[in-house]
């Protein structure tokens, strides 16, 4: 089981399952973290938390404690690398 917090900048993956308490799961689903959605890691804060993702065309910053409960698969290096763009 690989979770979203294991992705590196420039990688993308498909969300398989959102685990955790019901309130957190509900909030994440409202933000677009839904099973079957592809997410791309855009950047990390200097200390590694939060992490910014591109999801369905918008950028979303999430805390490590939340993304560690999101199960993913189909990890790929994405051609959409943005870590060197200002």
Q: Where does the pLDDT of residue 79 fall: very low under 50, low under 70, confident under 90, or very high at 90 and above?
A: low
Is this model's pTM higher than 0.85 or not?
A: no
pLDDT tens digits, 25-72: 999 999 999 999 999 999 999 888 999 999 999 999 999 999 999 999
**Which residue in 81, 86, 79 sits closest to 9, CA to CA?**
81
CB 9, CB 84: distance < 8 Å: no
Which domains, from first to last, does the chain contain? 2-77 (2.30.30.90)
Round to whole Å and give the CA distance between 74 and 14: 6
Cis peptide before 50 (omega within 30 of 0): yes
CA dihedral sign, ordered 31, 70, 81, 8: positive
């Amino acid at each position: 089981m690989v979770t979203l917090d294991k992705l590196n900048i420039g990688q993308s993956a498909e969300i398989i399952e959102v685990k955790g308490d019901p309130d957190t799961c509900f909030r994440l689903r409202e933000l677009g973290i839904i099973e079957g959605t592809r997410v791309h890691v855009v950047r990390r804060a200097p200390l590694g938390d939060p992490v910014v993702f591109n999801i369905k065309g918008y950028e979303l910053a999430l805390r490590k404690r939340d993304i560690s409960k999101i199960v993913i698969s189909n990890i790929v290096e994405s051609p959409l690398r943005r870590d060197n763009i200002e």
